[in-house]
Structure 1
């Protein structure tokens, strides 16, 4: 456990990507099984412990420290694992330092009544860094600047193979990944899954900038709309005994089929479809807010199935029957996709239409006005467009030069800062999470009503200025939240960029922004000139 804790600690303080890769690779190369496989699983989100939650940690520390002192410390530090690791009254020597496999087995197998005693015994035995690593493992939020892709790349380096090859076999493996390491270190052949309906790593795109168009030949690319839904993979395959297995995966490989039986029933052909999960009513794509009524549910009622019918707008075909066709050029895959959807004959699936264009100027015009360019009544559900090389294979990850995304211009509104809260991790000493609002007229006077919250969009230098402003202009406190002075004549204005707007019963304003970020700090603008709620309501989609 101490060596795993050392690795996490080094990674948390190492800003350089290549140095992180070297640290992980060295750990995997010099650490025996199953420890290294469990560490790799922790870094890639592959360890989930049903009964080990943040509430357990809070309960344990509450029994051992003054609650007021803990609340003040947590507010200052900003990270639960770090706060508890520092405040825990350790009893070094009371127990043996646990090994990572024993910790993983204990967290997986211990019952709810046994787990608190077990975790407390480990915390007693470990030092501050070890306690921090253990608590990070329990909460599942490492926050060490390592993506799953980076960890897999480090593993791939053990065998000198491309990271894409590890991605190809990853979802057929289970921690501690003994078969993976046997292959990478030359003791066995590449592991192959026999799952008839496997998840295939998703191909992603790069944001396109104005300068990129000068390097790209429009004749080499096709374009289609980028829809405001959830990227999914619908997969069906036949087992050796003739029974069919159908799954619906999220972008990260989580099986969400249980919440979408209407789609599972409709996929009656063997194959793998890549597309966007939407809600369709009377042939029209509904808002993302409507789709949210179907997300994150283990089961759905008959009424919900009727009121929020699920639909997949298909972008790509990854497997046609038992044939894996990801290596074929995009246009060949698309031709086979049209044939596949014709055989399927279900109104739950349709083909994502291409956007005709001869040059980048024509595509820019289509992006600016999707309704005129072919999206018609679905235009409000368009986030922008995707630009794809016609000869591109379907590759895992985010390969450069094949796919690009060109989002529509963000909407801008001037809002007044209302509340601030400290961030987490490296931002735990700064007020970096900001709630802002716009003006609404009442019978007595104008009032500010909150419309969103953002914690990015500003530079580190601006963060220092904002933190100083919050501290100097605090007029009230509500636990960790500071209310900042906001009147007609006194306050701070943010120019806020956001992707969409929808009605909300959870906000006093009745509106909620999608993906808000602080575009500019308007030190020069008085609060009375900030926008009003009426201006935002004009940006609601038709019928919203």
Structure 2
């Protein structure tokens, strides 16, 4: 456990991607099985210890230190695991010459916590914390709760493994979700004393092909096809040997959240598409390339391990298909987009038309005409335009010159800061998360969104100073501030929301600029924002 704790500590303070790859690779080469496998599961977010939740950890520390001290320290540090690791009291020695406890290993931690009930887990976790130093406690708590947040993505961890053992990262990614932690067959292959795992008879995940931003580039539509970029979640659907799985863009298995999609996809193959929720009055029927509700509707379904009949009826899901990767047992990814598109069109009649439709190619004579089409698109489910080179194969990751995403220009509104909260990580000492609102006709300020991105470090310090000097009330970690700071907020779309008192919700809000030149009374009104919502 000590070596893993040292790894996490080093990764937390390392900015360089190459340095992170080396740190992880060095650890994997010298750490024995199964510890390194469990470490990889923790780094990639695939380790689930259901008996340990944040509430359990808070209960343990508040039994040992003053709860007020803990809450104040947590507010300052910005991270529960780090706060508990630092505050946890050292146990009293047993006798005059205590025998040091045997160091914990990752596998001991996982084996113990994996088999415990929620009632048994707190005592076992507390005993482990008593045997650990501060670094080990931090690693243990992060691993137990599945929230490492150390600047290492799942892809980067897999890349580090591939680099360390001379493997192809796409080959690792392709079989990853067909394997179970602690991945003994994967490491046996990596070290040359085992066969390469294959996706035969297992519905495994294939890395998504991604796009670069178009920026100021103009392309020839003779070479590129244009499709709408729909505002749902990208999914890959795989059916092999009678089993269907849905994967998100990050490779997470989301089958349980959308059982009706899995049940409807029974044709052997692998498709790439956009998961959406049907909207009765949103831009036409499925056959017309419309029919999708806003992302807010889709959010009602995300992250649910079980879905009620009521939820299925109120938020019916469907998938708008972009690409065909595998047809039966034939891998099509090396074919050009035009060939795959033709195969996808031929594949569509086999699918349930209630659950699957085809992403339409935009009919535009040239790039100038496409600009006009894009500018006029304000359907709440459209995020922009995709440009795909007609001769491009389907390759994992972002490859220059093949696919481009051309997001529509953002909308903006002048809003008033209402509340602020400290951030996490390197922003944990700053009030960097801001809730903002707009005025009703009666002069009441109602929240319409929350943002923390879009500002420079200098602007962050300025806003942090404003919050500290203009605090009106404190609600735990949240500060209410004087309603005098205007922020210009950029966002991708607005949609109606029953969860917000204002009745509206912003999609991807970020701070465009700080309006010190504008009095709060002149900020936008709720009705102005409501008029930005596309009409049915």
Q: TM-score range by the shorter chain?
A: over 0.9
Q: Which residue of 1 aligns with 2:62?
A: 62
Pairwise CA RMSD: 1.8
Counterparts of 2:279 and 2:528 in 1: how far apart (Å)? 28
Q: Which residue of 1 aligns with 2:507?
A: 514
SS at match of 2:495: strand
Counterparts of 1:484 and 1:46 in 2: how far apart (Å)? 40
Q: Which residue of 2 aligns with 1:530?
A: 523
Q: Which residue of 1 aligns with 2:271?
A: 273
Q: How far 1:449 sits from its partner (Å)?
A: 1.2
Q: How far 1:303 sits from its partner (Å)?
A: 4.1
SS at match of 1:453: strand
SS at match of 1:441: coil
SS at match of 1:285: coil
Q: 1:231 aligns with which of 228, 234, 237?
A: 234
* 8 Å Cα contact 1:237/1:270 also seen in 2: yes
Q: How far 1:217 sits from its partner (Å)?
A: 4.5
Q: Which residue of 2 aligns with 1:338?
A: 345
Counterparts of 1:302 and 1:469 in 2: how far apart (Å)? 48
Task: Give CA deviations for 1:296-347 in whole Å, capped at 9, x if unaligned.
Answer: 3333344443333321110001111121212221111111000000233633
Counterparts of 1:533 and 1:290 in 2: how far apart (Å)? 21
Is residue 466 of structure 2 the alignment partner of residue 469 of structure 1? yes
Is residue 372 of structure 2 the alignment partner of residue 365 of structure 1? yes
Q: Which residue of 2 aligns with 1:245?
A: 243
Counterparts of 1:255 and 1:41 in 2: how far apart (Å)? 15
Q: How far 1:200 sits from its partner (Å)?
A: 2.1
SS at match of 1:158: helix
Q: TM-score with structure 2 length normalisation?
A: 0.93
Q: TM-score with structure 1 length normalisation?
A: 0.92
Counterparts of 1:259 and 1:472 in 2: how far apart (Å)? 45
* 8 Å Cα contact 1:95/1:121 also seen in 2: no
Structure 1 residues 302, 127: CA separation in 2 closer, same or farther (over 3 Å shift)?
A: closer
Counterparts of 2:116 and 2:311 in 1: how far apart (Å)? 37
Q: How far 1:358 sits from its partner (Å)?
A: 4.4
Is residue 509 of structure 2 the alignment partner of residue 502 of structure 1? no
Structure 1 residues 302, 147: CA separation in 2 closer, same or farther (over 3 Å shift)?
A: closer
List structure 1 segments (4+ residues) > 4 angstroms apart after TM superposition: none
Q: 1:221 aligns with which of 215, 221, 224?
A: 224
Task: Give CA deviations for 1:357-401 in whole Å, capped at 9, x if unaligned.
Answer: 344322222211137xxxxxxx33211011112122222233333
Q: Which residue of 2 aligns with 1:353?
A: 360
* 8 Å Cα contact 2:380/2:533 also seen in 1: no
Q: How far 1:94 sits from its partner (Å)?
A: 5.9
SS at match of 2:398: coil
Counterparts of 2:103 and 2:504 in 1: how far apart (Å)? 52
Q: How far 1:540 sits from its partner (Å)?
A: 1.3
* 8 Å Cα contact 2:380/2:493 also seen in 1: no
Q: How far 1:59 sits from its partner (Å)?
A: 1.0
Task: Give CA deviations for 1:25-75 in whole Å, capped at 9, x if unaligned.
Answer: 111112222121211111111111111111111111011000111111111
Aligned length: 521
Q: How far 1:437 sits from its partner (Å)?
A: 0.8
* 8 Å Cα contact 1:249/1:256 also seen in 2: yes
SS at match of 2:119: coil
Q: How far 1:187 sits from its partner (Å)?
A: 2.0
Is residue 163 of structure 2 the alignment partner of residue 157 of structure 1? yes
Counterparts of 2:89 and 2:108 in 1: how far apart (Å)? 22
SS at match of 1:400: coil
Structure 1 residues 398, 58: CA separation in 2 closer, same or farther (over 3 Å shift)?
A: same
Is residue 204 of structure 2 the alignment partner of residue 204 of structure 1? no
Bigger shift: 321-330 or 66-75?
A: 321-330
Counterparts of 1:133 and 1:345 in 2: how far apart (Å)? 47
SS at match of 1:380: coil
* 8 Å Cα contact 1:266/1:346 also seen in 2: no
Q: 1:172 aligns with which of 175, 178, 181?
A: 178
Q: How far 1:110 sits from its partner (Å)?
A: 1.9
Task: Give CA deviations for 1:219-253 in whole Å, capped at 9, x if unaligned.
Answer: 32111001111211222223xxxxx2222222233
Task: Give CA deviations for 1:177-216 in whole Å, capped at 9, x if unaligned.
Answer: 2222222222233211333433222222222211x33xx5
Structure 1 residues 111, 309: CA separation in 2 closer, same or farther (over 3 Å shift)?
A: closer
Structure 1, unaligned runs of 5 or more: 239-243, 372-378
Structure 1 residues 196, 149: CA separation in 2 closer, same or farther (over 3 Å shift)?
A: closer
Counterparts of 1:54 and 1:528 in 2: how far apart (Å)? 41
Structure 1 residues 520, 191: CA separation in 2 closer, same or farther (over 3 Å shift)?
A: same
* 8 Å Cα contact 2:380/2:495 also seen in 1: no
SS at match of 2:144: helix
Structure 2, unaligned runs of 5 or more: 94-98, 286-290
* 8 Å Cα contact 2:162/2:169 also seen in 1: yes
Counterparts of 1:81 and 1:302 in 2: how far apart (Å)? 38
Structure 1 residues 127, 505: CA separation in 2 closer, same or farther (over 3 Å shift)?
A: same
Q: Which residue of 1 aligns with 2:485?
A: 492
Is residue 330 of structure 2 the alignment partner of residue 323 of structure 1? yes
Q: How does 1:52-451 map to 2 (within 5 A)?
A: 52-91=52-91, 95-210=101-216, 212-213=217-218, 216-238=219-241, 244-281=242-279, 283=285, 284-344=291-351, 346-370=353-377, 379-442=379-442, 446-451=443-448
Q: How far 1:129 sits from its partner (Å)?
A: 0.9
Q: Which residue of 2 aligns with 1:375?
A: none
Q: Which residue of 2 aligns with 1:456?
A: 453
